[in-house]
Structure 1
């Protein structure tokens, strides 16, 4: 379920990232689009690989899918039994349940990480209750090298579980050994051994836990021989465990760290043994005794007496894990949103502060620059006022909005200065004349010519109707061209065309020459763009307008013309 949880949380992380980029961070449009696309691509890629990994995990867990796991709310210890685990379980029942523990067998070292992963995915609340029991049966091993190699493999497999069980799980070692004499088979007794092998305690029924020395010194004539045999058996077992097991687990193997068992236990009960096993060789090397080999069909006793020595901590349920991860994502989002809001508010304060500083530096003489600065302050104040009415934007809020404290300085600065009133206007009587008459040059002249065309008379007569010569008014005839050609030719052509129009009007309308002024501007005064044919056609024109002039159009006046 861990892969499924990641598949669920990934869209949440992608949505929060896009919300942060588009709604909070002070970025340009191009940067926002680029980052949004990057986040989308990364999210889709990660989702694809997680989906494939989730499917692979389901396939890999087929081997342990039939294993019966403890319920989600199980309060006891969850024990993964490794090593010589088969004598502790029956063929028909794949697990053993007691009041204090739930025992699951692990047949092969490569199955241990898979089972740990399966437990972490299906029962995450029980991860803290998982421990690894390394079962050792000395009477079932015949070769020391084979036992050493098996322990090395189990050592590495236990360490591999740390990525699924929140670290290396607690490890405890239990040994089952046939008692030294048949008389002792009636009593199943456990011996507890501390990691340093210096404190051996006996689990005595009715007396609790007592030290091995105290137990052996108790006066009990009926069991004195059994106690002496048990003490001898225990004193012989300690060096064997230290040589064959302790030195292997407590030493580092390359990149595999050492394992320190939290408790050691030994149980004297009948155990199925192999001929010429390691325990027989060990006892034979110490004494002339040869332990008997037994054939037992019942399951061995579980090391329940060792469970109180295991470290315990509270686990986290699967739902709680999902909520914790979602809360972590939301917390990271809120942290970055607060940071972005702080940056946006600092930019607002800096911008308004710059506008106020510029406004205060200006003296108001001339008033135009300060008027422009005042208009900027009014725009800032209007924006802040709108945010008061409708609420500050999300990128500025999140509890860090600082626009309220900027309103008072803005209003004080705006009200501290007003532009001077405009100068009083002198009322003068202006005689308005007719509008300027525009004549298209192509309707009057051929291309690059200044002589009037034959068909231009109608156009000129229509223009002459609106022009009436009278004293005090000057008839100004101005010629214009487009930018085609050089500047001097255009100016001369425009002047000669204006002259042709003036001559026709003077002769046809019997108007004095003093009533006219002729001007040629060439291409210096366009009324449209010269980049298009339509604009150039509009610029090729002759303008006729009336301009008031005191001595104009007098009978005794001398002819008046000008060339600009």
Structure 2
């Protein structure tokens, strides 16, 4: 389940990173694609190595996976019992639970960091409740050098737990000794050194807490010898603990910091010891007497009296850790998104400012550059107006959008100048060429004749209407024949026919004779070949041309019939 949570958080981080790259950061398309691929590859590699590490951790924790861990909502202290932990748990008991604590035995120093890691992984809410109890039973050890080496190994193991328990866990020491005088009626008694109270305190069930000096003065016939022996044992134990225990773990060893116990306690209860143990050697060195060893193996009492004096810390559950990590991811995303939005808005302000600076620097002479710059300002204004109506894009938003304050300067600059009006169009006088009316000669005259037929009036009227529409123009009437007959006859015939048409128009249309010019070309200007009947019919014609000529009707036109 924890692996799935990590995978979901990694997926969430990947999605937020891709969203940040594609939606906010001012990058080109190629840079976005490359960076997105890099993020996907890195996240995939992290997921793979995380899976590998989880697999290795499962193998490493296989021998402690069956440890009886306290429940997630356990409210008491979680104590990892190190050192001489075996006498505290009978028959390989996996744990001991009391009203105030949950005790877990640790047999070897190498197992302590693994158990701490396992607890942090499976019960993250209990990390703040974890402490380390260094159990010391002097009567179980014979070699002082071996005892010191074991203490140093536990010292190193405790320091290694800081990576999993949010720092070095609280350490406290408890010592068990066989009493000098055993009383069957004596209640469980603890000698403690705790913060907030000076000196050694004596704690007995039902009697409360009493300083050691005051406790030693309350002598009576029933317990006088017991208390005197307890005072002697306590003084000897304090000197031994300061030199053999605190002198080892309380000093810095290379890169290992010194450990300062937060509490210390000792209980005088029958303990099964070995021959020539450390305690016998210590007492013999002081008194030349060697205390006897007990032969009764009992489960030693737990130091619950010291649990209230452990430092109070607050733990975080696994669900809360996941929510905190998700909140951290969203916080980082929001931070970088705000930074990207700020950069994008600054770029927008700089771009519009550059366009305004170029526009204001141009004088408008010539107008083309300033008109082009004005068109750029209009494009910026349309873009900002569109964002004002439809909302700014995501990369510029998040409360940092600066486009609205740019609209007024843009519109003011656009309205401050207008291009000069275009020059009036050049009206060119169109000089029209002659306009020609072509009349069929046979529709006007009989063959070889130049007197108008009676049915030619309609054709001449149509031509006269076109001539009257152009008053003041020179009217050139030219006659043409086919190649049938004599050339001289055809020349004279064409001239006479042109004059007949001129006379009719002059008399009928009331057009001055000075407006006419008469020409006869005979057969010299055929339109088509005279080899066919259709060609000869086309060549027999009278052409009336209107020529624009100033004061044409004021001069008497007497052109030579032999000239064009």
Alignment TM-score > 0.5, same fold = yes
> Hey, what does 1:140 align to over in structure 2?
140
TM-score (norm 2): 0.74
Check conservation: 1:7, 1:51, Cα contact below 8 A.
no
> Hey, what does 1:45 align to over in structure 2?
45
Residue 32 of structure 1 deviates from its aligned partner by 1.4
* Structure-to-structure mapping, 1:370-449, within 5 angstroms: 370-430=370-430
Q: Does 1:190 align with 2:190?
A: yes
Residue 196 of structure 1 deviates from its aligned partner by 12
Residue 187 of structure 1 deviates from its aligned partner by 2.9
SS in 1 for 2:126: helix
Give, in whole Å, the separation in 2 of the partners of 1:272 and 1:427: 131
Q: Does 1:72 align with 2:72?
A: yes
SS in 2 for 1:186: coil
CA deviation profile, 1:168-220 (whole Å, cap 9, x unmatched): 00000000011101236733210002589971111033442111001101243
> Hey, what does 2:359 align to over in structure 1?
359
CA deviation profile, 1:30-67 (whole Å, cap 9, x unmatched): 22122112212111111111110011111111110111
Residue 257 of structure 1 deviates from its aligned partner by 1.0
Distance 1:160 1:345, change over 3 A: same
> Hey, what does 2:180 align to over in structure 1?
180
Distance 1:275 1:190, change over 3 A: same
Give, in whole Å, the separation in 2 of the partners of 1:68 and 1:265: 26
SS in 1 for 2:340: helix
Check conservation: 2:17, 2:39, Cα contact below 8 A.
yes
Distance 1:37 1:227, change over 3 A: same
> Hey, what does 2:127 align to over in structure 1?
127
Residue 414 of structure 1 deviates from its aligned partner by 1.1
> Hey, what does 2:54 align to over in structure 1?
54
CA deviation profile, 1:288-319 (whole Å, cap 9, x unmatched): 43222112333110000011110011110000
> Hey, what does 1:267 align to over in structure 2?
267
CA deviation profile, 1:424-444 (whole Å, cap 9, x unmatched): 1132245799xxxxxxxxxxx
Check conservation: 1:185, 1:269, Cα contact below 8 A.
no
Residue 374 of structure 1 deviates from its aligned partner by 0.7
Check conservation: 1:362, 1:369, Cα contact below 8 A.
yes
Check conservation: 1:374, 1:414, Cα contact below 8 A.
yes
CA deviation profile, 1:243-285 (whole Å, cap 9, x unmatched): 2111100111111111111011000111111111111111111
Residue 421 of structure 1 deviates from its aligned partner by 1.1
Give, in whole Å, the separation in 2 of the partners of 1:5 and 1:246: 43
Check conservation: 1:3, 1:53, Cα contact below 8 A.
no
SS in 2 for 1:190: strand
Give, in whole Å, the separation in 2 of the partners of 1:4 and 1:110: 29
* Structure-to-structure mapping, 1:303-318, within 5 angstroms: 303-318=303-318
Residue 147 of structure 1 deviates from its aligned partner by 0.5
Aligned-residue RMSD, C-alpha = 2.3
Give, in whole Å, the separation in 2 of the partners of 1:317 and 1:32: 38
> Number of residue pairs matched?
437
SS in 1 for 2:91: coil
CA deviation profile, 1:106-130 (whole Å, cap 9, x unmatched): 0111110110000000000100000
Give, in whole Å, the separation in 1 of the partners of 2:256 and 2:431: 107
Residue 369 of structure 1 deviates from its aligned partner by 1.1
> Hey, what does 1:500 align to over in structure 2?
none
> Hey, what does 2:501 align to over in structure 1?
none
Check conservation: 1:184, 1:226, Cα contact below 8 A.
no
* Structure-to-structure mapping, 1:293-308, within 5 angstroms: 293-308=293-308
Check conservation: 1:125, 1:317, Cα contact below 8 A.
yes
Give, in whole Å, the separation in 1 of the partners of 2:2 and 2:291: 50
Q: Does 1:245 align with 2:252?
A: no
Give, in whole Å, the separation in 1 of the partners of 2:162 and 2:362: 70
Check conservation: 1:156, 1:256, Cα contact below 8 A.
yes
CA deviation profile, 1:459-484 (whole Å, cap 9, x unmatched): xxxxxxxxxxxxxxxxxxxxxxxxxx
Give, in whole Å, the separation in 2 of the partners of 1:379 and 1:181: 102
Distance 1:84 1:430, change over 3 A: farther
Give, in whole Å, the separation in 2 of the partners of 1:2 and 1:222: 60
> Hey, what does 1:346 align to over in structure 2?
346
Give, in whole Å, the separation in 2 of the partners of 1:366 and 1:73: 83
Give, in whole Å, the separation in 2 of the partners of 1:151 and 1:246: 10
Bigger Cα displacement from structure 2, 168-177 vs 409-418: 409-418
Q: Does 1:107 align with 2:99?
A: no
Check conservation: 1:195, 1:261, Cα contact below 8 A.
no
Residue 98 of structure 1 deviates from its aligned partner by 0.7
Give, in whole Å, the separation in 1 of the partners of 2:397 and 2:258: 54
Greater Cα radius of gyration, structure 1 or 2 = 2
> Hey, what does 2:236 align to over in structure 1?
236
Check conservation: 1:200, 1:211, Cα contact below 8 A.
yes
> Hey, what does 2:210 align to over in structure 1?
210
